[in-house]
Amino acid sequence: SASPAPPGPVSILADSRCISNGVDLMSCLRQRHAATVHVCSLDGCYFIVSNRMAAERHSQSDLASMPNRKRLAERLNGLQGSFERVCLIVEKDRTKPGETSRPFQRTRFYDSTLTALVNTGVRLLWSSSPEESAGLLADLARLEQRKGQGIAVPLEVKGQHRQQALQLYSSLPSVNYAHALNMSHNFSSIAQLINSSVDDVQKGGCMGRTRAEEVYRFLRYSCDSFLMHTSKSGRSSSS
């Protein structure tokens, strides 16, 4: 299947938590950029723009504030576990009507956060408004689509059993929601995935080789029942 994807609308998944402060952005994505946006429940507040790329959006002041950094680091590390590419869109703070826009005070802390993000391989993009952020998300999705990484399956999964299968696929280690969606559209049953070769996991999940190998190994991983019971506590009392 080497045929180039038709330059149709791009598909973007958005976590439901992105809506609260992203109404403008969402409608801009749909209307001005003709993107197909599906809101679903991801495990954090972020967008998925391709099979391998996630994007978070933060205000500049959010990035500059002290208590958020640890949480941000944890979240981004988590995302890097299931996405090959992670982007952070830094958006200028919105000024309320009537308020004079204060120039952003750049601190050493802010600079060290930026440095750390760059060193960890997070891609930074800069935006001055929600509309511009929407444009960046659409551009990212389009670029990924051109590279053959766009989400090409329908963004919705219908039917209870399929939903449950999607849930199960999402709980595979290092598998992101886009991979899980691909799996639920490409495998005829859960058993088919479980019994697939590494090649087929890679193809069906639209994922990289290493990730497919990880899934393949995980499905065959033999649990140690002792380890499972230790979390129950109290049972293993040998002196």
Where along the sequence are the contacts to other proteins (CB under 8 A)? 69-70, 73, 76-77, 80-81, 106, 108, 111-120, 122-126, 128, 132, 135, 139, 143, 154, 157-158, 161-162, 164-165, 167-168, 171-173, 184-191, 194-195, 218-225, 227-229, 231
- Nearer to other proteins (CB atom), residue 18 or residue 180: 180
Angle at 82 between CA 200 and CA 86, to 5 degrees: 125
Shortest Å distance, C-beta 16 to other proteins = 20
* Shorter beta-carbon distance to other proteins: residue 51 or 170: 170
**Distance from C-alpha of 201 to C-alpha of 198, rounded to nearest angstrom:** 5
Pair of tokens at residue 184:
């639920």
Cβ-based nearer residue to other proteins, 19 or 118: 118
In the complex, minimum distance from the CB of residue 30 to other proteins, in angstroms, rounded to a whole number: 21
Which one, 19 or 210, has the nearer CB to other proteins? Answer: 210
Tokens found for residue 201: 């996991």
Q: Within a 13 Å sphere around the CA of 16, how many CA atoms are in the beta-carbon half?
A: 3
Looking at residue 34, what DSSP letter applies? -
Interior CA angle at 218 toward 212 and 223, to 5°?
Answer: 175
Residue 6 gets which letter from DSSP? P
Please report how close the Cβ of residue 27 comes to other proteins at its closest, in angstroms. 20
Task: Measure CA 217 to chain center.
Answer: 23
Residues 202, 215 contacting (CB under 8 angstroms): no
Nearer to other proteins among residue 225 and residue 238 (C-beta): 225
Tell me how far, at minimum, the Cβ of 133 lies from other proteins, in Å: 11
Shortest gap between Cβ of 195 and other proteins (angstroms)?
A: 7
The CA distance from 66 to 64, in Å, is 7
The smaller minimum CB distance to other proteins, of residues 51 and 216, is found at: 216
Q: Which residue has the tokens 């960046």?
A: 136
Tell me, what DSSP letter sits at residue 223?
Answer: P
Minimum gap (Å) between residue 39 Cβ and other proteins? 20
